[in-house]
Amino acid sequence: MALRLSPLLRHHFVAPLHSHSPSRLHKLSAHSRTVDPLESHKLVINVKEKLEKDHHNLPVGRNGRDDEDMILWFLKDRRFSVEEASTKLVKAIKWRQEFGVSDLSEESIGSAAETGKAYLHDFLDVFNRPVLIVVASKHFPSELPPSENEKLCVFLIEKALSRLPAGKDEILGIFDLRGFGTANADLKFLTFLFDVFYYYYPRRLGEVIFVEAPFVFKPIWNIAKPC
C-alpha cells in the first residue's frame, strides 16, 4: 500500500500525485505470489474443504466459509498458503458475525455520518478505484462512542468495495488533514483502522494520500503506524 503526501484535494475526481519514492506499509499485506488459475482453484477447494471440516458452524454464502471469491482473495494475501489463509479467514468471518457487518445501514451509522468526518466520494479516481475520504478536522473522539466511529468506518469500506468496477480490487484512501489539531488525534481509532485493513480487508487499501499533513500529525502517525 503506497503512502503519499499531496498538497491538493480535487473535488470532481481524485488523482494521486506521482512520487519518486513512495513509502509503503508492509504490514498490511503479504508480498504477492503468482499462481496459475488451475492451481489457484485447487487451493480454493482445499480451503473450502478445510473450513467445512474444521469450522462447519461458520456461515455460508457471500462472505462465508464457502465464498470462493473471498477465499481466493485471502489466499492471495497469504501467498497461497492454505493454512495461513484458512486461519485468517476464520478470524475474519467470526469478526464479521460479532461486529454485525451485514446489519450495518445508513440508519445505523447516521450520527457518525452526519458529522461529515468520512464519506465515499461520488467519483472514482483516475485508476477507477472508489475513494474513501476522511476529514480529520471533523473528528473529535469524545463526541461519540468509539463503536459509532468504527461502524461508520466498516460501513464505508463495505460501500466502497460494493462499487468496485469489474476487474478492480482496491480502493483509495484520502486523509484530508487540513486544520488537524491535537483535539482530533485518536490513536485508538487509528489502531482499529489498521487492524481492519490487515485482518479483515487485506490488500483492499491500495493507496493512502495525506493532504497537507501538519507538523503535529507526524509524531502521532509515528506512534500509531504499523511497523
Positions of E strands within 78-117: none
Sheet with 2-6: strands ordered across: 23-24, 2-6, 205-211, 171-176, 131-135, 118-120
Confidence at residue 227, expressed as pLDDT on a 0 to 100 scale:
67
Confidence at residue 4, expressed as pLDDT on a 0 to 100 scale:
56
The closest of 101, 100, 93, 41 to 64, measured between CA atoms, is: 93
Confidence at residue 226, expressed as pLDDT on a 0 to 100 scale:
73
Confidence at residue 3, expressed as pLDDT on a 0 to 100 scale:
55
Task: Decide if 120 contacts 160 (C-beta within 8 A).
Answer: yes
Confidence at residue 22, expressed as pLDDT on a 0 to 100 scale:
38
The closest of 169, 171, 106, 177 to 135, measured between CA atoms, is: 177
Confidence at residue 34, expressed as pLDDT on a 0 to 100 scale:
75
C-alpha span between 111 and 140 (Å, rounded): 13
Confidence at residue 83, expressed as pLDDT on a 0 to 100 scale:
97
Confidence at residue 220, expressed as pLDDT on a 0 to 100 scale:
87
Confidence at residue 14, expressed as pLDDT on a 0 to 100 scale:
44
Task: Decide if 136 contacts 115 (C-beta within 8 A).
Answer: no
Q: How many residues does the chain have?
A: 227
pTM over 0.95: no
Cα angle, residue 150 at apex, residues 65 and 204 outer, rounded to 5°: 50
pLDDT values of the chain reduced to their tens digit, one per residue, 227 residues: 555 544 444 433 344 433 333 333 444 544 556 788 899 999 999 999 999 999 999 999 999 999 999 999 999 999 999 999 999 999 999 999 999 999 999 999 999 999 999 999 999 999 999 999 999 999 999 999 999 999 999 999 999 999 999 999 999 999 999 999 999 999 999 999 999 999 999 999 999 999 999 999 988 888 887 76
68-77 helix and 37-54 helix, angle to the nearest 10 degrees: 110
